[in-house]
Structure 1
């Protein structure tokens, strides 16, 4: 591999420096002010909360359509390295203003925001001073209490895993403990710190008795890396050590949830205890691969040999392969999970080679870490957006991408991708759901 191999999210900036891969498209035009958090149109219409306070708030649809994703995850995106380990640019104070506006928009529009609680907030992550915010943009000063396995008084839970739970509150109040108690144990992969987790949750305010909107109401699973601080501890820390297929009862005091200020938009007071029932749907390790019956690609596609031990796949194009005029897709393993929708975050493994000579230019497998990206918004090359969206989670696909849907005449600097090169990718779609690429 070249010293600076390129990957599906990189493009050259007009100045010659590498643009932020999260906001760059394949044509080299970097939208440096754009964030990777997807905002539904209904939120945009309310202009980050600057509406008439007497005007009723427009409901946010929970249909799960591609243009209506609900983002519950991180409100502060750290600089993300691309899959080729390029460093990003543009991390100045301007980002703080953008994030402040994004935070306000999300808090107005989303049904429930399980937002990140940062321990090291600074001027880069603070919201803009002139941006109204209905929830705290600074974390609680209370330390997160240790997790307990039980308490004298706990709510009861009924219902089946994979469906919205029924939570019955006891007569007594919470004793303030942070409790994570399995309701049922799964037998899947364990959610160790750093593993990718899809989880659904049911939510209730113990203090007020109110039912709050959770992921089952939205119809979208939350996708995040366990134990990495991208969500409130009531979810982020709670899943660590538990297996896929487990249902957890979580009781969270303010310090394990929204902190001293609560969350006004959700109706959560500063001293309210929350009850969550968390269903761990899927867990993937950083080096996971999909499994299933393999269908060989058509004869005019590149042959694929899957190597073990975390090594990149061997992709061998046929001799004299002609450049495709449009995207070509072959499904090598048909997944059984939900279809990837535009606006969701997908987590994948991939290997990429040039169609002309089969030379590898990048692979997540070589770095032994899966690659997350937000679909459908120009955050990756067009061939990826068109090829991944609509596929089932758990699928392995092969994409033959013409130069016009890849990097065109201006491939990333430092890569070994020729100008106007057609590319071949083998992609394992490990998971997809609501989320944003993690902080680094």
Structure 2
């Protein structure tokens, strides 16, 4: 399943997402559905330090050509099979600027191979494909993929391995032709390395009349207190920008990294909160992968913004509601969303 119109190679096509291909971050997040990727290790530990460079398994691998993000490199995997027990990396073109850490987001183009057979599994340089972004602190992407990108620099090219233990695990992925013992090999050209926000600054404006009120008694890094307004909820989606960011504008078919909290209008009950989970969440936006009330409001906002949303059922979970999250088909939803990054 492709999440974006410009395909997400490692998550959607290759199936490296260990959570939902539709962007669901928590038990009751804003995604309308949740389809787990088939076969995979769901390790959620933080990415390790940069893997060792120029290891024996990749010693004969070459990828020639410019890192211009237009021309696919000419790849020779060298001696096969390539099999490793850990994530191992070879820097092919050094790049410049800061080395990516788990706090960074990268934009890349990749070519992904089966290290046993040498078969090309996914080609990020195929016609119609664009650069793809990954926040390296995400825990919904297979651990070996984000770990392999630690240390990458803008303008650089790296090759790295994803062993079964940090890839598809003991089940492999038959659909892709990856056996349980196969190591995956990734060649990644790096267009950009940048660091998103960890939290917003400032107190924000008061909510407009008729909206719920929002307070952050413990600061912006902790969950807000939302107090529902008196009266009936609106029948159309309403939005208010409480903090106007000065970062890049969120575009359709991007991912956003956000802290958010959702409460029910009827009783103020919190049904989902990334703040309470202690980690920002990542969602495809403007692509029909989350509830319509998010797609219609968050595209066009700037990174660094805080947005208050009131979403009636028709723009939320519809008549079916979301029983898993305790949301009925008549529930109006209230969200506070802090936009930390867009990629």
TM over 0.5: yes
2:192 corresponds in structure 1 to 279
> Deviations for 1:180-219, whole angstroms, at most 9, x for unmatched residues?
78654449xx623xx562335699xxxxxxxx9879x977
- Kept after mapping to 1: 8 A contact 2:138/2:282: no
- Please show how residues 69-148 of structure 1 align to structure 2 within 5 Å: 69-74=6-11, 75-76=14-15, 77-80=17-20, 82-84=25-27, 146-147=52-53
Match for residue 133 of structure 2 among 211, 222, 247: 222
1:198 corresponds in structure 2 to 106
Distance 1:321 1:397 in 2: 21
- Please show how residues 148-297 of structure 1 align to structure 2 within 5 Å: 178-179=90-91, 183-186=95-98, 191-192=101-102, 195=103, 197-200=105-108, 220-225=131-136, 230=141, 236-237=146-147, 239-240=149-150, 247=154, 249-252=156-159, 276-283=189-196, 288-291=198-201, 294-297=204-207
2:255 paired with 1:345: yes
- Kept after mapping to 2: 8 A contact 1:336/1:392: yes
Distance 1:280 1:273 in 2: 18
1:269 corresponds in structure 2 to none
Distance 1:303 1:220 in 2: 39
1:337–1:394 distance in 2 versus 1, CA, 3 Å: same
- Once the 2 structures are TM-superposed, how far is the Cα of residue 358 of structure 1 from its aligned partner? 2.7
1:294–1:82 distance in 2 versus 1, CA, 3 Å: closer
- Kept after mapping to 2: 8 A contact 1:394/1:428: yes
- Once the 2 structures are TM-superposed, how far is the Cα of residue 232 of structure 1 from its aligned partner? 11
Q: Answer with 1 or 2: which has the greater Rg.
A: 1
2:279 paired with 1:372: no
1:226–1:406 distance in 2 versus 1, CA, 3 Å: closer
- Please show how residues 320-335 of structure 1 align to structure 2 within 5 Å: 320-335=230-245
1:300–1:223 distance in 2 versus 1, CA, 3 Å: same
Provide structure 2 residue ranges, at least 5 long, that are not aligned to the other structure: 43-50, 80-88, 112-122, 163-184
Provide structure 1 residue ranges, at least 5 long, that are not aligned to the other structure: 1-34, 40-67, 100-117, 121-144, 204-211, 257-271, 434-440
- Please show how residues 353-432 of structure 1 align to structure 2 within 5 Å: 353-413=263-323, 415-417=325-327, 419-432=329-342
1:226–1:355 distance in 2 versus 1, CA, 3 Å: closer
> Deviations for 1:70-93, whole angstroms, at most 9, x for unmatched residues?
42332214344651279x9876xx
1:326–1:184 distance in 2 versus 1, CA, 3 Å: same
- Once the 2 structures are TM-superposed, how far is the Cα of residue 398 of structure 1 from its aligned partner? 0.7
> Deviations for 1:296-339, whole angstroms, at most 9, x for unmatched residues?
33233222112338532111233x23321211111122223333
Distance 1:230 1:410 in 2: 29
Q: Which has the higher strand share?
A: 2
Distance 1:302 1:238 in 2: 43
CA RMSD across the alignment: 4.8
Distance 2:264 2:195 in 1: 33
- Kept after mapping to 2: 8 A contact 1:343/1:377: yes
- Once the 2 structures are TM-superposed, how far is the Cα of residue 429 of structure 1 from its aligned partner? 1.7
- Once the 2 structures are TM-superposed, how far is the Cα of residue 274 of structure 1 from its aligned partner? 6.1
1:311 corresponds in structure 2 to 222
Name the SS of the counterpart of 2:276 in structure 1: helix
- Once the 2 structures are TM-superposed, how far is the Cα of residue 423 of structure 1 from its aligned partner? 1.9
Match for residue 3 of structure 2 among 21, 38, 41: 38
- Kept after mapping to 2: 8 A contact 1:353/1:360: yes
**TM-score w.r.t. length of structure 1:** 0.48
2:173 corresponds in structure 1 to none
Equivalenced residues, count: 275
4+ aligned runs moved over 4 Å, structure 1 = 88-91, 164-167, 173-177, 180-183, 200-203, 212-215, 217-221, 226-233, 272-275
1:414–1:213 distance in 2 versus 1, CA, 3 Å: closer
